[in-house]
Copies of this chain bind each other. A is one copy, B any other.
Amino acid sequence: MEETRESQEMLGRLIQPEIEEMIQARDYRNLRRAVAGWAPTELADLIRSLPEGEDVIFFRLLPRESATRVFEYLDSDRQQDLLESIAKNKTRLADLLNEMSPDDRTALLEELPAPVTQRLLGLLSPSERRVADTLLGYPEDSIGRLMTPDYVAVLPEWTLHQALDHIRRFGRDSETLNVIYVVDRDFHLIDDIRMRELILTDPDSKIADLIDRRFLSLQATDPQEDAIRVFKNSDRTALPVTDSSGALLGIVTIDDVLEVAEEEATEDIQMMGGSEALDDPYMSTPVVTLMQKRVRWLIVLFVGQMLTITAMAHYEELLAQAVVLALFLPLIIASGGNSGSQTAALIVRAMAVGEVRLRDWSRVFKREIITGLCLGLILGAIGMFRVFLWERLFESYGEHWFRIGLTVGATLVGVVMLGTIFGAMLPFIMRRLGADPATSSTPFVATLVDVAGVFLYFTVAAWLLSGTLL
């Protein structure tokens, strides 16, 4: 039975009703038999697709070893549901936790409320407890949290034969066997050796003959984004992690890093849209939480945007004399917001992937001034043309049509430039202040530009139209 992605999905769809039936009929014996031999990923897919309640029953029927693997494949929400349901059976809970791989367990424990984490830690065996405590000791979002101590290390004085024996004995739990690590007696990392070299070399030679003391490693306290960058620029699937003295603490595998990269991108996109980052997938976030994540920024922006009322009130008299000016207001401030939104997105992402750093701000500034000027001139010209054309066609704007067109055009140049400059600089300011550059969201930039745009528009208008319309 082949398991290509499609056939796997089909499998789930075809068999699921029967499974649900067996669960409802409490036909546990047949159920157990039906899924015997399924792969953990398949079982996890099935659990995800089962209605609430039934997933728990199904999970509890799984044989112990398979249950642990399946558990690791589920997301933290579902994991917590299952944990709660089996909380009464302490032995079962302890088994499950002790058998999880340390990095997956860390990810689960850090998602849980602190008291629950403490209780669960108490269920671990002394040695697993020590591992969990160590991993949880690293700051959130640090590489330490992604580590697993399941790797194979060898000593330089061993022969390859000895090393392979060691791997046969201790490699069963290792997360990767592509690479093994060479350490000295103090556990300082001195090299990594690819498995292929071990296999392809004479078994009687020594590890010391293979090493060149050249290796890539990560530091446990460094941020996880660093790991993304290092993995992207190397062709490793696992990297060793050391403390500041160079002692080997564990390894990080690229599949965990892929997950981190996807989560960071999700957070950035959500923040760029102007809400706080969600902790869970969109669909499993309750509407109430969704609202909480969005309302704070909406209110902040709303209150900021109120400055436009004050600004406009300042020019109310001018407006009353020339109502025609109001017609162009939405167009003008939107143009500033649009160009600012473009720039902010480009810069925030360039910062996130490590391409633009704080010190690059002046280069970015120069590039964006030029871009903003050109874009502004193009939109300004189109805007002015629109005024002239409508005047020509419909005589829309009275005797001062030319000055009105000029006001619209000149303001557009300014407002688009303001947009690009705010959009380009706000991410730098945010990072400088220690905040995430993605905080400089599209709506944030747009709000700034709106307020500035209103002032600019009426200042230009007052100047260009004084003595005529005003």
Contacts and interface: CB of A to CB of B under 8 A. Distances in A.
B326 A319 contact: yes
Interface string A228-246: 1011111111100010001
B295 A375 contact: yes
A252 to B, nearest CB: 12
Contacts of A10: none
Interface in A304-354: 305-306, 308-309, 312-313, 316, 319-320, 323-324, 326-331, 333-335, 337-339, 341-350, 353
Interface string A1-15: 111111010000000
A234 B195 contact: no
A450 B255 contact: no
Contacts of A234: 41, 255
B328 A330 contact: no
Interface in A187-214: 189-190, 194-196, 199-200, 212-214
Nearest to A72: B235
Interface size class of A (residues with CB under 8 A): 35 or more
B237 A255 contact: yes
B274 A341 contact: yes
Contact of A327 (B213, B259, B313): B313
Contact of A195 (B195, B299, B309, B442): B195
A270 interface: yes
A167 interface: yes
A265 interface: yes
A371 B195 contact: no
Interface stretch (A16-24, A109-117, A153-161, A174-182): A174-182
A108 interface: no
A168 interface: yes
Given A268-B269, A269-B272, A298-B342, 12 more contacts: A2-B213, A4-B246, A37-B214, A177-B177, A257-B258, A270-B349, A283-B350, A295-B378, A301-B335, A312-B326, A334-B337, A337-B443
Interface of A: 1-6, 8, 37, 39, 41, 44, 73, 164, 167-168, 171-172, 174-178, 189-190, 194-196, 199-200, 212-219, 222, 226, 228, 230-238, 242, 246, 253-255, 257-259, 261-262, 265-266, 268-270, 272-275, 278, 281-283, 287, 290-291, 294-295, 297-299, 301-303, 305-306, 308-309, 312-313, 316, 319-320, 323-324, 326-331, 333-335, 337-339, 341-350, 353, 355-356, 360, 363, 367, 370-371, 374-375, 378-379, 382-383, 386, 396, 441-443, 446-447, 450, 454
30 contacts: A4-B246, A41-B234, A73-B233, A172-B196, A177-B178, A228-B262, A265-B268, A269-B269, A269-B272, A272-B345, A274-B342, A275-B342, A282-B349, A283-B355, A283-B356, A291-B374, A294-B339, A301-B335, A302-B379, A306-B386, A309-B328, A312-B327, A316-B324, A323-B323, A329-B330, A330-B333, A334-B446, A334-B450, A341-B442, A341-B443
